């Protein structure tokens, strides 16, 4: 009898081995499949991360160096491409030149500790990266801004590939203004240019629709526009005065969300005291407040520029006519004065002859003298009538002009309005002064060793460049001390923030000719501000005592009083008494009581 | 024999369980791995898409005066804005045609977006952008607060962005809770660090900030003439007898 032994039978072992083999086979296939998938997944993961890193690096570099895109595409083709591997095979582990500027931090050695933060060489070294930066395609509704928006927004396409794996990321960047072409820059300036004259009038007339000064059918539209000019300019300068110094000079209303606790100029005085100024945060705030002040001033100018120009142009056009009227009035006044004097003498002679006529011995001679005097007086009355008729006709053709001139005279000689307008004369000097006041705290901020963060220094450095550009455009020449400071800033950041250093070194702030050419429209506005301030000064003098317009108005009042027989002059008295110009029959009796007017 | 057959069943069962556990683990790990990567890739693409929209908005608003911001003009054109106390806003989506060029490289039927641009503070010239991106069935919500601030020479904004990004099911259009959350985050982020200079002078800095906002948001009402209206001059001629004085 065969004994029973524990364990597996041969068949059991065979079946077990078969099952295990089958499952191991399946498992192996699954394992290798999963491994392949994991490799693919890892590659996709790496590719996505690398693409994102490239995009982020471009963004951060653009923050430090706002002129980067213009330098990459100096011809302005609207397209910049670059491609390369993270590491060149020939160069071993050294980063490729393409990635040097994108990734290198502490040098171009991928294994350097500083670089480990940005690039893990093992993960990225064999990847091929293609970058395409192109102008955007704005919507059809962009209209005249199409080219500007095309350049302001850049499409970034980053394609990362290795072997069969590939990943593409599309992103967009906002291009700083330094990168715009001249046509786009011109369009940008146009968008921010002053209000058009017609739009300014439209807005003003809408606001004063129920005001009797401007009702339709009242004064001539051209004259009405001139009056509107005055109030638009008054409002804009007054608002600037309120925002800068905290009070309006004349009473227009400025709407604010809340009433400021202090005016900007008061803040400047406060923050300039050592208690505050010693801290970097207040230097930054001081620069910010002064930027607001200069912006407020320039905005006010931009708003009034076309209106003020219209006002001054009209004044210049009016002046020859005013001078012509003044000359005619002078002639009439002198002639009337002469007639008054001559007639008074004749009246005296007539009265003397009349007294003499009472003497029978001299009656005949006296009668002749009286008749002669009356004839001569009659001739002068006729001459006076001719002068008043002619002058009256001439003045009737200039009624609109005289209305406007009288209004402007009243406007410019009203102390409140004149003070507001005279603020305009200080604009160019205040603009220059405020730019200096921005520069000083920025300079001190950058010199301060404690307080500012590196990012604040970056922003302050870029602002310093912008202010220097403005100051140079205002000066009309380069500013060597400021440029030296920018160079020193560039050297100080050459190793720590290379893109910023590049920007500081290569910005067009260093080339005044290029700067002026690129900012021609701004420069033109700046020059217009200076020119209009000078023109205003010249024009407003015409309304001062002794000025052309003031003199003409004095003459006008004098001659008008003569013509309207209200002057009290001899001729006016006679004319009043004899009634109409044709009624001179009772001249002899009209002469009774005629006396020269008392000296004023 | 029964014992041997029992051995076989037990053995086969144990082997099968072990093998299935191994397969399940592998499958789970690989699908999680692939899913995570796919999710990361989608999130990057959604972020890039949302940022593209934000950049386009920023370019459009900064290339002209604040008063001509496109959402205000569109709201005015739609005659629904601005009423007193109503915030100017405009809603956009992939179909609205506001940003026709975004979304390049994505499968045509696989994505969409919707959002809102609106004023946060008209006077401070701060605006908020909400974008909700729908990509391969996942929803990603983004928001930015941006400040409009053109410089004297028309330079574009720098450092004027606050961003919030969330992956959630809250539609961007439901802005009230999101607004409240963002406002709280902004308020908290503005609080100075204890014992810092900003903390010491926080009252002064607070007043200064308020005053700057008041100045930025100031508008003026057109000055109107006062006093005697400048009536036109009358023809100059001698006054008829007995009618002295005339119009003055």
Each residue of A246-292: pLDDT tens digit? 776 665 555 555 677 888 889 999 999 999 999 888 998 999 899 88
pTM of the full structure = 0.78
Answer yes or no: is the ipTM higher than 0.95. Answer: no
User: What pLDDT does A171 receive?
Assistant: 92
As a whole number of Å, the CA-based R_g of chain A is 44
Task: Give the CA distances from residue B108 to residues A114, B43, B55, in Å, rounded to whole numbers and listed in that order.
Answer: 42, 17, 22
Among partner residues A289, A455, A563, which is closest to B236 by beta-carbon distance? A563
Comparing A84-88, B4-8, B168-172, the range with the smallest average pLDDT is: B168-172
Min Cα–Cα distance to chain B from A257, Å: 6
User: What pLDDT does B246 receive?
Assistant: 38
The residues, ordered by sequence, that sit 6+ positions from A295 with a Cβ below 8 Å of its Cβ are B151, B152
A155's torsion region: left (phi>0), alpha (psi -120 to 50) or beta? beta
Are B40 and A48 within 8 A, CB to CB? yes
Min Cα–Cα distance to chain A from B8, Å: 6
Give residue A116's pLDDT band: very low, low, confident or very high (50, 70, 90).
very low
* Cα-based angle B150, B154, B157 (whole degrees, multiple of 5): 45
Are A207 and B41 within 8 A, CB to CB? no
Pick A588 or A355 by higher pLDDT.
Answer: A355
Measure the CA–CA gap between A563 and A385, rounded to whole angstroms. 9
Burial class (CB in 10 A: 0-12, 13-18, 19+), A454: exposed
Among partner residues B155, B208, B241, which is closest to A285 by beta-carbon distance? B208
Are B210 and A258 within 8 A, CB to CB? yes
Residue A220: CB atoms within 10 A of its CB come to 14
Torsion of CA B61, B62, B63, B69, to 10 degrees: 30
Measure the CA–CA gap between B67 and B59, rounded to whole angstroms. 15
Give residue A473's pLDDT band: very low, low, confident or very high (50, 70, 90).
very high
Counting one residue from chain A and one from chain B, the pairs whose CB atoms sit within 8 A come to: 305
DSSP designation for A176: P
Comparing A49-53, A87-91, A99-103, B111-115, the range with the smallest average pLDDT is: A99-103
User: What pLDDT does A104 receive?
Assistant: 44
Task: Report yes or no: B47 and B113 within 8 Å, Cβ to Cβ.
Answer: no
Are B105 and A157 within 8 A, CB to CB? yes
Are B48 and A169 within 8 A, CB to CB? yes
- pLDDT, average across residues B153-174: 47
Q: What percent of chain B has pLDDT over 70?
A: 69
Are B236 and A177 within 8 A, CB to CB? no
A582 pLDDT more than 70: no
Best mutation target, B119, B207, B224, to test chain A (most A CBs within 10 A): B224
Of A566, A572, A583, which is closest to residue A384 (Cα–Cα)? A572
Give residue B213's pLDDT band: very low, low, confident or very high (50, 70, 90).
confident
Task: Report yes or no: B26 and A34 within 8 Å, Cβ to Cβ.
Answer: yes
Residues of B in contact with A413 (CB under 8 A): none
Are A208 and B225 within 8 A, CB to CB? yes
Pick A26 or A91 by higher pLDDT.
Answer: A26
Residue of A nearest to B61 (CA): A149
Interval B184-195: pLDDT, tens? 777 777 777 777
Are B223 and A279 within 8 A, CB to CB? no
Min Cα–Cα distance to chain B from A48, Å: 6
3-state secondary structure A460-513: HHHHHHHHHHHHHHHHCCCCHHHHHHHHHHHHHCCCCCHHHHHHHHHCHHHCHH
- pLDDT, average across residues A363-386: 87
Task: Report yes or no: A471 and A436 within 8 Å, Cβ to Cβ.
Answer: yes
Q: What percent of chain A has pLDDT over 90?
A: 19
Measure the CA–CA gap between A438 and A434, rounded to whole angstroms. 6
A14 pLDDT more than 70: yes
Are A173 and B100 within 8 A, CB to CB? no
Min Cα–Cα distance to chain A from B153, Å: 7
Q: Which two tokens stand for residue B131?
A: 């974008």
Instruction: Choose the most confident range, by mean pLDDT, from A75-84, A296-305, A464-473, A561-570.
Output: A464-473
Residue A256: CB atoms within 10 A of its CB come to 18
Instruction: Choose the most confident range, by mean pLDDT, from A360-369, A462-471, B94-103.
Output: A462-471
Pick A31 or B96 by higher pLDDT.
Answer: B96
């Amino acid at each position: 009898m065969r004994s029973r032994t524990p364990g597996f039978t041969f068949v059991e072992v065979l079946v077990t081995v078969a099952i295990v083999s089958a499952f191991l086979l399946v498992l192996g296939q699954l394992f290798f499949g999963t491994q392949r998938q994991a490799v693919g997944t890892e590659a996709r993961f790496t590719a996505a991360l690398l693409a994102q890193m490239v995009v982020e690096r471009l963004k951060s570099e653009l923050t430090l160096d706002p002129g980067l895109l213009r330098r990459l595409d100096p011809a302005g083709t609207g397209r910049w491409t670059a491609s390369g591997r993270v590491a060149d095979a020939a160069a071993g582990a050294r980063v490729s030149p393409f990635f040097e500027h994108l990734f290198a931090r502490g040098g171009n050695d991928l294994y350097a500790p500083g670089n480990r933060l940005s690039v893990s060489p093992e993960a990225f070294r064999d990847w091929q990266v293609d970058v395409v930066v192109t102008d955007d395609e704005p919507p059809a509704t962009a209209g005249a801004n199409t080219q500007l928006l095309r350049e302001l927004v850049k499409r970034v396409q980053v394609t990362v590939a290795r072997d069969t794996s590939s990943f593409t990321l599309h992103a967009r960047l906002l291009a700083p203004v330094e990168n715009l072409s001249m046509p786009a820059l011109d369009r940008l300036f146009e968008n921010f240019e002053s209000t058009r004259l017609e739009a300014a009038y439209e807005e003003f007339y809408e606001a004063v629709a129920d005001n009797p000064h401007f009702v339709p059918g009242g004064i001539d539209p051209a004259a009405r526009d001139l009056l509107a000019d005055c109030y638009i300019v008054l409002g804009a300068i007054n608002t600037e005065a309120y925002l800068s110094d905290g009070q309006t000079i004349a009473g227009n209303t400025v709407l604010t969300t809340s009433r400021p606790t202090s005016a900007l100029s008061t803040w400047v005085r406060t923050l300039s005291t050592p208690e505050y100024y010693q801290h970097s945060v207040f230097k930054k705030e001081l620069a910010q407040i002064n930027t607001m002040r200069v912006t407020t001033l320039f905005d006010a100018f931009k708003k009034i520029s076309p209106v003020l120009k219209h006002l001054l142009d009209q004044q210049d056009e009016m002046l020859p006519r005013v001078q012509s009227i003044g000359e005619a009035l002078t002639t009439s006044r002198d002639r009337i004065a002469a007639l008054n004097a001559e007639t008074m003498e004749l009246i005296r002679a007539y009265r003397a002859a009349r007294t003499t006529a009472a003497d029978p011995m001299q009656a005949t001679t006296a009668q002749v003298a009286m008749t002669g005097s009356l004839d001569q007086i009659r001739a002068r009355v006729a001459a006076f009538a001719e002068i008043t008729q002619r002058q009256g006709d001439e003045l009737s053709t200039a009624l609109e002009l005289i209305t406007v001139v009288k209004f402007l005279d009243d406007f410019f000689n009203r102390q409140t309005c004149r003070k507001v307008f005279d603020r305009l004369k200080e604009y160019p000097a205040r603009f220059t002064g405020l730019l200096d006041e921005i520069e000083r705290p920025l300079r001190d901020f950058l010199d301060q060793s404690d307080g500012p963060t590196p990012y604040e220094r970056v922003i302050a450095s870029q602002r310093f460049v912008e202010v220097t550009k403005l100051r140079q455009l205002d000066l009309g020449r380069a500013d060597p001390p400021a440029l030296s400071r920018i160079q020193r800033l560039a050297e100080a950041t050459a190793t720590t923030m290379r893109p910023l250093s590049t920007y500081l070194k290569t910005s067009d702030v260093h080339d005044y000719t290029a700067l002026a050419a690129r900012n021609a429209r701004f420069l033109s506005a700046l020059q217009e501000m200076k020119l209009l301030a000078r023109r205003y000064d010249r024009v407003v003098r015409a309304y001062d005592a002794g000025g052309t317009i003031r003199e003409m108005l004095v003459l006008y009042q004098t001659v008008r009083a003569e013509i309207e027989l209200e002057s009290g002059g001899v001729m006016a008295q006679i004319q009043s008494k004899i009634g109409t110009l044709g009624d001179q029959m009772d001249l002899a009796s009209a002469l009774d009581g005629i006396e020269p007017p008392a000296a004023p | 024999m029964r014992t041997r057959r029992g051995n076989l069943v037990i053995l086969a069962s144990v082997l099968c369980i072990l093998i299935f556990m191994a397969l399940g683990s592998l499958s789970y790990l690989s699908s999680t791995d692939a899913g995570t990567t796919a999710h990361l890739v989608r999130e990057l693409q959604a972020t890039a898409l949302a940022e593209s929209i934000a950049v386009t908005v920023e370019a459009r608003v900064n290339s002209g005066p604040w008063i001509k911001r496109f959402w205000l003009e569109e709201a005015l054109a739609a005659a629904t804005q601005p009423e007193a106390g109503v915030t100017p806003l405009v809603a956009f989506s992939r179909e609205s045609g506001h940003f026709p060029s975004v979304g390049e490289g994505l499968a045509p039927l696989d994505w969409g977006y919707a959002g809102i641009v609106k004023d946060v503070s008209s006077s401070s010239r701060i605006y908020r952008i909400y974008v909700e991106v729908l990509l391969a069935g996942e929803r990603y919500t983004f928001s930015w607060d941006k400040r409009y601030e053109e410089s004297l020479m028309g330079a574009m904004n720098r450092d004027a962005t606050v961003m919030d990004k969330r992956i959630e099911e809250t539609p961007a259009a439901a802005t009230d809770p999101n607004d409240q959350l963002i406002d709280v985050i902004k308020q908290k982020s503005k609080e100075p660090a204890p014992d810092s200079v900003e903390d010491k002078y926080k009252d002064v800095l607070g007043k200064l900030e308020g005053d700057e906002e008041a100045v930025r948001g100031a508008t003026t009402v057109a000055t109107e003439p006062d006093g005697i209206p400048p009536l036109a001059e009358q023809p100059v001629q001698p006054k008829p007898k007995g009618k002295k004085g005339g119009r003055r």
